[in-house]
Amino acid sequence: MPDGLLVSLFEHKAWCNARLAEALSAAPEALGRRQWALILFTFDHTAIVDRVFKARLLGEDPGVTSTVATTWPDLAALTTSMAETDAWYLDYVRRVTTAELESAVDFAFVDDGAPGRMTRADMLAHVITHGASHRGAIGKMLEGLGVPGASDMVTTFRRMSLV
C-alpha cells in the first residue's frame, strides 16, 4: 500500500517544479547573465541530484561526476527532464513497500567518492528537502531581482488541487 504522505509530498514537488519552470520561462530577458546563470544552474543542480538518487534507488550508476552542470542548462530541456523524473518518483512512491523504504542502499557520493549508506526512505526525504531548499533560494533570488517567482507552499498546492 502506498504511503499517502510520500505520494502527497512528491505530487507537491512536481507541481512546484512545473510552476517554477513556468515562472523562469516568463522571466524578463533583461536579467543579467550572472544572475540568470546562478538561478538556472541552481535549478539544474536539483534536477541532477534527483536523477542521482533515482539511479541509486534503481541500483544503477548515476553516470555523473558532479552535481553541477559543466555546460549552460537549456531551460526547455531541463523542464522536460524534470517532469519525467518527477513522474518517475511519483510512480515509485505509489508502489514502494514499507519494507523497501526501510532497506538501506550503499553508494559512493558523486562529488568525492566517499562511501555512503542511506535507507530508501532517507533518500526520498533528501530529494524532497533538497529540492525545496533550492527552490526557496531561487525564489529569494527572483524576489531580489523584482521578478515574479512561483508559490511553492503546500497550502497553495492543496487549495489549487481543490479547484
Q: Topology of 4-162 in CATH? A: Four Helix Bundle (Hemerythrin (Met), subunit A) (1.20.120)
Predicted confidence (pLDDT) at residue 161 exceeds the cutoff of 80: no
> What pLDDT does 62 receive?
95
Residues 129-137: contacts with CB under 8 Å, at least 24 apart:
130/46, 130/49, 131/13, 131/16, 131/17, 131/46, 131/49, 131/50, 132/13, 132/16, 134/42, 134/43, 134/45, 134/46, 135/16, 135/17, 135/20, 135/43, 135/46, 137/42
As a whole number of Å, the CA-based R_g of the chain is 16
60-113 pLDDT, tens digit each: 999 999 999 999 999 999 999 999 999 999 999 999 999 999 999 999 999 899
Could you state, in order of their start, the residue ranges of all structural domains in the chain? 4-162
More confident residue, 29 or 145: 145
The rounded mean pLDDT for the chain is: 90
> What pLDDT does 154 receive?
62
